[in-house]
Amino acid sequence: MNNAVQDRVDGREMTTPGPKTADLFRRFIGWLGWIVLALLLVEVGLRLAHIGYPNGGKELFFTWDPQTGIAPRPGAQGLWHTSEYDVPVHINSQGLRDREHAFQKPPNTFRVAVLGDSFTEALQVPAEKDDSSVLERELAKCPSLRGQTVEVMNFGVNSFTTAQQLLRLREKVWQYSPDLVMLNFDTGNNVYKNSRALQQDPYRPYFFEKDGKLVLDDSFSHGSGGRTRFLLSQFSSWSIQHSHLLQAVAAGVNYLRQGNTEGLTPTGMGLAPAIYRPPDTPAWQDAWHVTEDLIAQIHDEVTAKGAKFLLVTLASSIQVDPDPAVRQAFVNRAGATDLFYPDHRLQQFATARGIPVLTLAPYLQQYAQEHKVYLHGQRVDHQGLLNELGHQLAGEQMAQKICSDLLPASASPAGEAVSSIH
């Protein structure tokens, strides 16, 4: 006779667990309890030892957007906490990392809209110290704007591509009637992110060239996959934010992860070495062409509205490292030909198209080397995003460029330099 006991219930036969099956079930529950207890002890131990690798729960500051994939979540607030930064963050009611702004521009106001990615959104520094805020304060000193209120609006979004910035321009910016639109271009990753073939992220929009025109590929918005993935990432982010054990696991995974996309094998700074040499594959050549077309499209749409436009090329941490030996070691290791290749290329492109451009990297490199200071990172290393000093210098240069080159000469007293705004 086997271990099962046959019963009849309502005319049907049922098999109830015998002694051996019940014993196995009890053992499973017991082992499961011990595992849970062990994990709890590890969690408590990590907390007591103050060991953690918080990722800041960045997804919690964002929401799903059918046009751009993601967007800052209106009203979100909290602490942006990583190994490098502890910064209070507030997203206003319109989804900007900024103070509140009225849609209708106040009288006698010069309004600037700034497009960009994480460098511009600048969650790693207090809002009052990011380059947009510095630009606002410095531009208010421009003689050409004397008697006017200067209002700079930060439309930057973490991880946004130039394609997403173009869509944000169309969807968000024009309702505020800006007098000037500034595009902050991240030379470290914006080029390859504009290519579906290189970025390989199906959950964001792209543009591609067809018959000499840019065509929107918004296929990501036609299904529920992107929204589902985003919701899962939000749950994952919340879990990691609240568990030191999961933080340790996530840190280990990030350490072991290696990129294998064409030309995108990451360096120690997460940069794509291929950006620092002329494109030598069809994918990179196409990425550059689409990027330049997107910049030209943004410029054309801005000027068609009667506003002024400025392209600003930002700097990666290796470009402005104060130690020439460190920069050269990167060039040798990554097979780069020119650390300023993307900056020079975009400057030449913009000049040929009559697009005003400010190239920050050479100036920031010179400043960092002369003063022996780092302009990126804060606590652990000096990579990644601009620190407060980097934002201060960038904002000052932006204001200088706008005041001297984009605004009409002021009626200031003779002998007063129009560009003297510091």
| Structure confidence by residue, pLDDT tens digits, 42-95 | 878 877 877 765 554 566 788 888 899 888 989 988 777 665 567 888 999 999
Does residue 317 contact residue 269 with C-beta atoms inside 8 Å?
yes
Euclidean distance between CA atoms 110 and 117, whole angstroms? 23
Question: What local confidence, expressed as pLDDT, does residue 417 receive?
Answer: 37
Question: What local confidence, expressed as pLDDT, does residue 19 receive?
Answer: 63
pTM attached to this predicted model: 0.80
Euclidean distance between CA atoms 159 and 188, whole angstroms? 12
Question: What local confidence, expressed as pLDDT, does residue 262 receive?
Answer: 46
- 290-339 per-position pLDDT tens digit: 999 999 999 999 999 999 999 999 999 999 999 999 999 999 988 888 99
Euclidean distance between CA atoms 240 and 378, whole angstroms? 23
- 208-247 per-position pLDDT tens digit: 999 889 999 999 888 666 566 656 655 655 565 667 776 6
Alpha-carbon separation of residue 128 from 82, 154, 228, 391 (angstroms) = 20, 11, 35, 10
Euclidean distance between CA atoms 179 and 181, whole angstroms? 7
Which residue(s) pair with 311 in the sheet? 183, 357
- 246-275 per-position pLDDT tens digit: 666 766 665 555 443 444 455 555 578 899
Question: What local confidence, expressed as pLDDT, does residue 422 receive?
Answer: 46
Q: Nearest-CA neighbor of 411 among 148, 149, 179, 146?
A: 146
Does residue 38 contact residue 51 with C-beta atoms inside 8 Å?
no
Whether CATH 3.40.50.1110 fits 101-406: yes
Question: What local confidence, expressed as pLDDT, does residue 124 receive?
Answer: 87
- 140-187 per-position pLDDT tens digit: 999 999 999 999 999 999 999 999 999 999 999 999 999 999 999 999
The more confident residue out of 408 and 279 is 279
